[in-house]
Chains A and B, each alone.
Chain A
Amino acid sequence: GAVVSQHPSWVICKSGTSVKIECRSLDFQATTMFWYRQFPKQSLMLMATSNEGSKATYEQGVEKDKFLINHASLTLSTLTVTSAHPEDSSFYICSVRSPEPGETQYFGPGTRLTVL
């Protein structure tokens, strides 16, 4: 399977600041990456699909001006949480879609964001 990294693994910030999270595909070029959000003891919620060289596709109810996604290269997608508030505190996980048949996604280790 694919190897995916995320940076940072955890971040604490003050309310009103912006935080950037990086997702890297380490062993193949990923035209499509995904960003998920997971609240404690809950399932993953797809936030957006990140497409290399084009605008991200956001799920219904996700504010695109709040969660900025940039997929500037085939190995890197970034998620920026702008003007973060305590309710944005969550576990953010990215994934890449593998080129193998069957729409398999491989996930990064996640980033824990805490907004004070």
Chain B
Amino acid sequence: AQSVAQPEDQVNVAEGNPLTVKCTYSVSGNPYLFWYVQYPNRGLQFLLKYITGDNLVKGSYGFEAEFNKSQTSFHLKKPSALVSDSALYFCAWGRVNTDKLIFGTGTRLQVFP
């Protein structure tokens, strides 16, 4: 089945250190790929997306993600983590010209002071 996978349930990182939240995809064709963040008891906030073009996508709050076709990955990164980055992060994919987004299982990021 076509999907995205987030292999880590939780990622812990110290404040100031770089962070990576992993996402791999198993989708035929050229998918749209997204990252969303969810704070407790809140809806999802859009961070960034890859449609086409430059493989390195920059998004909100200093986050970026790199589309790697050979590794079928779209990992989310930030050079220096903040405690306020602690939240639940979802990777998602959407098929071109369809409405649906399919979400990964989510990764909880915990940034320690």
* A97/B99 contact (C-beta < 8 A), A102-B32, A103-B32 known: yes
Residues on A with C-beta less than 8 A from B106 are 42-43
- B51:A46 contact, CB within 8 angstroms: no
Q: Mind listing 24 A-B residue pairs with CB under 8 Å?
A: A1-B46, A32-B99, A34-B101, A43-B105, A43-B106, A44-B90, A46-B102, A49-B99, A91-B41, A95-B43, A102-B49, A102-B51, A102-B94, A103-B32, A103-B99, A104-B49, A105-B101, A106-B46, A107-B44, A107-B45, A109-B42, A110-B41, A110-B42, A110-B43
Main secondary structure of the interface of A (DSSP, over half): strand
Residues of A within 8 A of B (CB): 1, 4, 6, 32, 34, 42-44, 46, 49, 91, 93, 95, 97, 101-110, 112
Chain A residues positioned under 8 Å from B45 (CB to CB): 107
Query: Interface residues of B, CB < 8 Å — how many?
Result: 23
Are A43 and B43 within 8 A (Cβ)?
no
Q: Which residues of chain B come closer than 8 Å to A42, judged between CB atoms?
A: 105-106
Tell me the B72-92 residues at the A interface (CB within 8 Å): 90
Residues in chain A near residue B105, CB distance under 8 A? 42-43
CB pair A34 B99 closer than 8 Å:
yes
Q: CB distance A103 to B46 under 8 Å?
A: no
Which residues from chain A contact B51 at a C-beta distance below 8 Å?
101-102
